[in-house]
Structure 1
Amino acid sequence: MDIRQLEYFLAVVEHGGVNRAAQHLHVAQASLSQGIRQLERELKLSLFHRTGRNLVLNPAGQLLLEPARKVLDDLLAAQDIMRGARELQVGSITIGTMPEMSSEAVAAWSGSFTRLHPDIRIDLSEFASAADLCDEVLTGHCELGFTTFPVPTDNLDSVELGVQRLLLVMPPGTDPVDAREPLELARLEGVPLVTSSSALRENDIVATVLRRESVVPRISAQVPNRHAQMTLVLNGAASAFLPLRMATAAHRSGAVVAETRPEICTPFGIVHRPGSLNPAAKSFVIQSHADLAHWNALIAGHRADGASLLHAALLADDELNADRRTASDAERRTASDAERRTASDAERRTASEETIANA
């Protein structure tokens, strides 16, 4: 039997006769009748009681009904999966983020996706607030939005990714801190701080935590973005609260980084419009979740061995970078081997053609 015969069989059952089934499938009635008879010959069973022009399922036909439906459902599911696979080969994903969710972090999480799907373009934009970001996602200008929670709308679906930790990043040359002991926020009275004028939600969170510790923050500078914050810190102008990923980069540039007590952190994740995502966006969410979970697992492993949060993050980054270099080297070797095989095949074909020509 073939798929077309099963489709004819189900159409006759569901539309109550050959004529209406043929009209629904846009085929000739004679072709449909012939397909049903061929199916019965192959099964060596009659599937219908024939009374005049009417076809009524007999017991054998009743037995075939559910298996036939399952076969066609499975076929449609396979076609959907393959269609999704084709859509993952080309196209683009529009992603929004906000100042509290630095673009560097989103870019880091999208690295694996880009390597797996190099022909998918990622269009990344930053918006001033969670409200602006959610508006862009609701209107369809962005398929995905990376944001801290909560968000100011109930009209979006959300995927929680984790908690963003803020560490205190101090200028190079600051008296070293004991990495094993968090820095008490109460000691920050009078310490100059630089804030980002665009990270309003984060500024409110920091200010609230400091007030609880009876600390009046001394804001010595307010700059447009995180890059400017880190630049002022590295130039010795002030300290700043920065996410863990940026704190590790600042540490590698000479900054002094400290965990704080109490911790300052915010939950974060992805928002999107209700309903199913397109295959590329869905794959991006899955890959981002997996990459972040892997990074967190590496950090947790090093912390279990006694490393501080900063040191554990540095070790995790080193491991991930080493894995990427190993993967890149393997890809280059595979490509080089393929080129050599292609060249060798071409040389053999040329030699064979010359032999035939000289014969």
Structure 2
Amino acid sequence: MELRQLVYFDAIVAHGGFTRAAEHLHVAQTAVSAQLRKLERELGVSLLTRTTRRVTLTHAGELVLGRARRILHEIDGIRVDATEVSSVLRGQVRIGAVDAVEPFDLDGALAAFTSRYPDLALRLRTKPTGAELLTALDADDLDLVLAPAPHDLPDTYSAHTLFTEQLVIITAVDHRLTRTASVALTELGDEPFVSFQPGTGLRRILDEAARTAGFTPHVPFETTSLTRMRGLVSNGLGVALVAESVAATAGPAVSIHELHPDPIHRSIALIHSERHTLSPAAQACRGLLLRWRRPARTQ
């Protein structure tokens, strides 16, 4: 049995006869008839009932046609996969990410992607604020961005949440709240805070949560480094609102406190601009990132 025989058989049925099938396939009608007869001989059954006006499927023909079309569909899929892989191998992907994307294992995901497509050019740019990265998306300087998705994100972006994580308060180990497992944000109105600069996702969450709690946070210490933030807190210079995974990582000693009665969460989304078409390489990378669920390793 040859693939061509299945193609001709499918075309005869789809186009209602030998003549139209031949026209569609750009071959002689005698070639179509010959291949159909050869297929019937090999199978030992008649697939079509022929009349002067039309052809109809026999019962055997209906069964064979179903399998033939599934085979042809799979072959089309092979062609698509091969084309996509070829395009991915020749492409590049430019990714932007905010500095803190834990617990998502971005490093592991990118390593898996480069292992699968070793000849692809992969670029990573990190920034402290998601706003900077969205600007780069608009300018077509980035293909994909991992960042908090603002609640008012315009519909010119497509965003899919990668994870949602609880935020906690960290303090020095000798802080007055050290023995308190959970605190209300209203208890921290007079405390100095350590945080990122205004405009960052974490700072925006802190400002909005404090405003809801009835105060404006005093932030004498601004940094772009989570390590520095933890160090400042550990030395008693302020308290900080951070992701639970960040608080749990190794580093200078701090006390961790859950927030009550209303926990605060942050989400990191995978974002791309609807104004720009993703290349096959970027589409492949986006698919891997959306499927990637291996947790980040901790020390």
Same fold, TM-score > 0.5, yes or no: yes
Shift of residue 6, structure 1, vs aligned partner: 0.7
> Counterpart of 2:46?
46
Distance 1:266 1:122 in 2: 27
> Counterpart of 2:161?
160
Shift of residue 226, structure 1, vs aligned partner: 4.0
Distance 1:198 1:35 in 2: 73
Q: 1:119-175: per-residue Cα shift (whole Å, max 9, x none)?
A: 265422345755554565567654433232425123444333332333333457656
Alignment of 1:222-301 (within 5 A): 222-224=222-224, 226=226, 228-230=228-230, 232-233=232-233, 237-249=237-249, 252-262=250-260, 263-272=263-272, 278-287=283-292, 290-292=293-295
> Counterpart of 1:300?
none
Q: Is the 8 A contact 1:206 1:264 kept in 2?
A: no
TM-score (normalised: structure 2): 0.73
Q: 1:270-301: per-residue Cα shift (whole Å, max 9, x none)?
A: 234679973332122101xx224xx7xxxxxx
> Counterpart of 2:21?
21
Q: Percent identity?
A: 24
Distance 1:26 1:134 in 2: 50
The one-letter amino acid paired with 1:164 is E
Q: Is the 8 A contact 2:230 2:251 kept in 1?
A: no
> Counterpart of 1:310?
none
> Counterpart of 2:111?
114
Q: For residue 298 of structure 2, give the secondary structure of its aligned residue in structure 1.
A: helix
| Residue 260 to residue 78, structure 1, CA distance change in 2 (3 Å) | same
TM-score (normalised: structure 1): 0.63
| Residue 291 to residue 188, structure 1, CA distance change in 2 (3 Å) | same
Distance 1:6 1:139 in 2: 49
Distance 2:28 2:139 in 1: 46
> Counterpart of 1:169?
170
Distance 2:226 2:28 in 1: 68
| Residue 261 to residue 168, structure 1, CA distance change in 2 (3 Å) | closer
Alignment of 1:1-359 (within 5 A): 1-50=1-50, 56-59=55-58, 60-80=60-80, 92-98=92-98, 102=100, 108-112=105-109, 114-115=111-112, 117-118=114-115, 119=118, 122-126=122-126, 130=130, 133-134=133-134, 136-137=136-137, 141-149=141-149, 150-171=151-172, 174=175, 177-178=178-179, 181-197=181-197, 199-224=199-224, 226=226, 228-230=228-230, 232-233=232-233, 237-249=237-249, 252-262=250-260, 263-272=263-272, 278-287=283-292, 290-292=293-295, 317=298
Shift of residue 12, structure 1, vs aligned partner: 2.2
Distance 1:223 1:112 in 2: 27
Gaps of 5+ in 2: none
Q: 1:15-60: per-residue Cα shift (whole Å, max 9, x none)?
A: 34444434433445444332222112112233344556x7623425
Shift of residue 111, structure 1, vs aligned partner: 0.8
Q: 1:301-357: per-residue Cα shift (whole Å, max 9, x none)?
A: xxxxxxxxxxxxxxx835xxxxxxxxxxxxxxxxxxxxxxxxxxxxxxxxxxxxxxx
Q: For residue 163 of structure 2, give the secondary structure of its aligned residue in structure 1.
A: strand
Flag the structure with higher helix content.
1
| Residue 203 to residue 9, structure 1, CA distance change in 2 (3 Å) | same
The one-letter amino acid paired with 1:247 is A
| Residue 133 to residue 29, structure 1, CA distance change in 2 (3 Å) | farther
